[in-house]
Amino acid sequence: MRLDDEISGLRKEISQFRTETRQRLEVIENEVNKQVALNYNRTIVDYVIGMSHDLVANLKCDRPDEEENCKAMLAERQEEHLALLKAGKFTASYNA
């Protein structure tokens, strides 16, 4: 009888250990997935920002005398959009 009680106690401890381990692994998995998603978003945002700056820098306006002014205006208009992207406010940045 005493041996059965010990075995039963060990089974309960093992079951509890498995449950706790599973819960901890789920928390770790969720955190890893969150970090991967954040890094993915940062990579995309950095790419979009870089491409936007390159696009403006490489534009050729029809009138060379107004090219700098044209580029400055475009860069200024993009700043709000890019700031919202960088802050993670994607929906708001689409409407900017």
Q: What is the pLDDT of residues 16-62, one digit of tens each?
A: 999 999 999 999 999 999 999 989 989 999 999 999 988 888 888 78
Question: 88: pLDDT confidence band, cut at 50, 70 and 90?
Answer: confident
What angle is formed at CA 42 by the lines to CA 89 and CA 31, rounded to 5 degrees?
95
Domain coordinates of the chain in residue numbers? 2-95
Torsional sign, CA 40, 41, 46, 49: positive
pTM (predicted TM-score): 0.64
Task: Check: CB of residue 51 under 8 Å from CB of residue 44.
Answer: no
Place of tokens 């920002």: 49
**pLDDT at position 70:** 86
